[in-house]
Amino acid sequence: MTEQHFPEPTIGALIFNGAGELFLMRSYKFKGQYVIPGGHIELGETMEEALHREVREETGLSVREVEFVGIQEFVFDPAFWKKRHFIFIDFSCTTDESEVVLNEEGQSYCWASLEECAGLDIEPYTRKAIEMYNDKRAP
């Protein structure tokens, strides 16, 4: 593993289907807990381009209606399988597609209402992204 010299900016996608359910996938990178799809931003790539690419790579889904949710900092947290420093930039988006094709990062997936998320084993940064999304929607 190459030693990290700078924080890594990454995007995360809160993907909602037509029923308003959130896409979550289990990931070995977060000890089998549910996460949202996402990953690093490549050099020369915009955040939105990275979001579309990462979602397609990890889930096979296309998304639209991309909106900024918030930023979180992740500094050497043992929740991740490697010692890393990330800057999570989270977005919400929608999809009309239903066929999911997970890559090797995803173990399984589900679609859950925001209310159902409270009872799921969701890693803390995804849970915080959901909270930020809910705060933005609150009247």
pLDDT per residue as tens digits for the range 102-111: 999 899 999 9
pLDDT in tens, 63-105: 999 999 999 998 876 666 667 788 999 999 999 999 999 999 8
Contact 93, 15 (CB under 8 A): yes
- What pLDDT does residue 80 have? 62
Res 2 pLDDT > 70: no
**For residue 35, is it within any domain?**
yes
Res 1 pLDDT > 60: no
Contact 10, 85 (CB under 8 A): no
In the chain, the amino acid numbered 10 is: T
Res 8 pLDDT > 60: yes
How many domains, in total, are found in the chain?
1
Which CATH number characterizes residue 25's domain?
A: 3.90.79.10
**For residue 43, is it within any domain?**
yes
Which residues, listed in sequence order, are joined to residue 6 by a DSSP beta bridge? none
Mean pLDDT of 26-43: 92
Contact 61, 53 (CB under 8 A): no
User: Domain containing 79: what range?
Assistant: 8-137
**For residue 106, is it within any domain?**
yes
User: Tokens representing 33?
Assistant: 């807990």
**For residue 2, is it within any domain?**
no
Share of the chain above pLDDT 70, in %: 93
Predicted model pTM: 0.91
CA angle 40, 91, 6 (to 5 degrees): 30
Contact 65, 94 (CB under 8 A): yes
